[in-house]
Amino acid sequence: MKKAGLVTALMTGALLCAALPAWAQFQRYDYIWARSTSGAALTLDGQLSEPQWAQAESLIITTRQDGPIPGSGWKDEGGFVSSDPNRGVFRFLVVDNQLWIGVTVRDSSIGGSALFNRFDGLLMGLKGHDDAGRPSGPREHFISWWWPPESGDLNPLAVDKPMSMVGHWRTWPPGTPPTVDQVQAWDARYVVNGKVNSDTTSDVGYTVEMRFDLGMNGYDVTDADGDAVEWNCSLYDMDNFWPITNFFRFSVCRTWVQGPWGNAAWFHNLHILARPTVTTASGTLPTYAPDLEIPQASSQPAPSIDGLLNESVWASAPSVRLTFDDAAQLDAYPGVGPYRSGQYQAPVNGNGGTAFIADPGDAIVKYFFKGDSLFLGFDVNDQAVQTHSLSDRWDGFVVALNDRVTRGDDRNLKGHKMTFYVGAGGTTRTADELTYLRDTLGAVRCNIALKPGTTVDTLGVDTDAGYTAEMAINLRQFGYPAGLGDHTLYFSLDLLDGDSYSPVTDSYGTRRWFFREWENNDGACVAFMNPSYTLAGVDDGDQPTPSRFALLGSFPNPIKQGTVVRYTLPEASVVDLEVFDLQGRTVASRSAGFQAAGLREIRLPQFAPAAGVYLYRVNIRNTAGVKTASLSGKMMVLD
């Protein structure tokens, strides 16, 4: 599903940009293309002298200046404001299944020391897409003039000191000779224009050329569909330390692209895109689409935000589903969602987080926007709805989104964390920023409603149905202008599920998140609130309710630019769509979530890895989760 997700993002963007004028507003800032050299070799010498480097896409960051949103930022580490901000130019190429990065740094004072954060160099994180767990963990890559005491180096301030390499593909401490496999996975060379650890004369800067074996990190950019490499980098800068002759000129700062660390996933990551047809000679680059499209509902009444989800607008709203331990569902998330999304079981009542999950957390979240507000509807299936004083055992949700103006302490776009959960008697409890945003600022409205037959306790003696909730977020209070500007939203969802049983050690608390767990974790979903994507109207009141489940087909069929699968529901149902190739392999899946009775549909954007015939199945369950129908059809995809 990795390939299907990436191809959908790339192709959908290109098609919709051509079809919808409103798409001209949308722009992503979290990606760059690495053009293929078409097999031409590069020499790892730190020179960047091959002609292909001149055709490479480049990204520039400068000390103490804001970088690409949403995750880039900077932080002073000591001393005073730099009198010579350094400037890093990053270039990206691919040769076969190797990623090459060339970095040219302008810096008049180059060097390092034995102290952490007191050096020049690069700290990078590369996500390992071959990790068994989710989210995929960062793999640290550190090349700098840092020689800590553990290295055994007795003279880290020596003039012309070489750079050290440490991290995932090197052995600690710095200076340990690398193995053959380590060199194959990551290697680098550098050239200094100046004198390291000496400020007797001004330096000019340094160049680093490095190579990553993408296969050893779970990527394949040689596949026809390409791949998206998740990467971030901090540029470290220390000036006027060798020696300190004027304390007021001494400075230490780091400035980063999307994320600051190599061993922790913070804020966001740069998506380095590559595929064989995008070369140094291929010209205009493909468009990178949003992870998610959010439709507008300007012609429909807004819901009352009482938690009931009984307004007609919710029946046609699209949705995402979050189910604990559902690996196939996670793999079907768009973009890099399969690698950023994940789950966690907290240790409660001394059980170490190992209790059997008797009733996995399961929820459908619907979404649309109207005017300047984002609307979210939550439909949660839960057989043990409870309230608890410990956050690890709440039943509720964390909704996180980034401000579009305000920056946090690390100068990245500030993340807002809004948490609601079930209180005693089914009341709505709030935590984190939501309490202030709802009760004081009036920026967010939120309410919970229990499903019929549901009681709130911590006994686990009865079987509940679950709860629903509604949230309306006035985006004007989060830095958006009137009309929502570029209509881009950086957000995430996290389902909280706590179940209590006897004995108490059988109790548990889980979290299952879509793209990121909290507001400052790596990997917000980049969504586009598309004004040209309008929610379909509900059935007219004089239209009879269908008498049976029936498939009405996909339109258009054959397909070039996506399709809509239509069907009838005689009763309110939960609907999912699966698409298979003729070998029976799943190539796409999509959830419509809860839909009211009537004529209904699921939008399916460009999904197929190749032209040909594909089979699809519409799976229909009742509100209790029991499958009531399965409707099968066939569609043809054209070149």
Q: Which regions of 145-226 does DSSP assign to beta strands (E)? A: 164-167, 186-193, 205-213
Torsion 329-454-391-432 (CA) sign = positive
Residue 473 sits in the same domain as residue 324:
yes
**The token pair that represents 260 in the structure block:** 């600051």
Contacts of 539 (CB under 8 A, 6+ apart): 598, 599
From the CA atom positions of the chain, what is the Rg in Å?
26
At 15 the pLDDT is: 34
- Residue 425 backbone zone (phi > 0: left; psi -120 to 50: alpha; other: beta): left
Residue 515, sorted as left (phi over 0), alpha (psi -120 to 50) or beta, turns out to be: left
Domain boundary among 274, 308, 331: 274
Q: Is 325 part of any domain? A: yes
Q: What pLDDT does residue 537 have? A: 59
Based on the fold, state whether residues 255 and 321 are members of the same structural domain.
Answer: no
Q: Does a structural domain hold residue 13? A: no
Q: Are 460 and 331 contained in the same domain?
A: yes
Within a domain: 81? yes
Residue 258, in any domain of the structure = yes
Are 191 and 246 members of one domain? yes
Distance (Å, rounded) from C-alpha 33 to C-alpha 41? 18
Q: Do 269 and 296 sit in the same domain of this protein?
A: no
Round to the nearest angstrom and report the end-to-end CA distance of the chain.
20
User: Which residue among 224, 242, 274 closes a domain?
Assistant: 274
Domains: count for the chain: 3
Same domain, 270 and 364: no
**Average pLDDT per consecutive 10 residues, the chain (639 residues; last block may be shorter):** 42 36 69 97 98 98 95 95 92 98 98 97 98 94 98 96 98 97 98 97 97 98 95 97 92 97 96 97 91 92 95 91 93 93 95 94 96 97 95 97 97 98 97 98 97 90 93 98 96 97 94 97 95 70 71 81 84 88 85 81 77 91 84 87
Say if residue 330 is in the same domain as residue 405.
yes
233 lies in the same domain as 309: no
**What distance in Å separates the CA atoms of residue 568 and residue 620, rounded to the nearest whole number?**
11
- Is 4 within a domain? no
d(CA 13, CA 605): 10
Mark whether 116 and 155 lie in a shared domain. Answer: yes
333 and 229 inside one domain: no
Asked, for residue 7, whether it belongs to a domain, the answer is: no
Integer Cα distance of 450 and 456 in angstroms: 9
For residues 454 and 572, state if they share a domain.
no
In a domain, 19, yes or no: no
Shared-domain flag, residues 252 and 345: no
For the chain, helix, strand, coil in percent to 5 are: 10, 40, 45
pTM for the full model?
0.84
CATH code, domain carrying 616: 2.60.40.2550
Residue range(s) defining the domain that contains residue 584: 550-637
Q: Of 326, 307, 297, which is closest to residue 397 (Cα–Cα)? A: 307
Least Cα distance to 488 among 22, 19, 8, 4 occurs for 22
* Domain stop point among 215, 240, 274: 274
Say what the pLDDT of residue 561 is: 65
Which pLDDT value is given to residue 610? 84
The answer as to whether 522 is a domain residue is yes
Residue with tokens 């945003």: 437
- CATH number, domain with residue 309: 2.60.40.1190
Three-state helix/strand/coil letters over 228-266: EEEEEEEEEEEECCCCCCCHHHCEEEEEEECCCCCCCCE
Q: Please report the pLDDT score of residue 543 as a whole number.
A: 52
CA–CA gap between residue 467 and residue 449 (Å, rounded)? 6
pLDDT at 21: 38
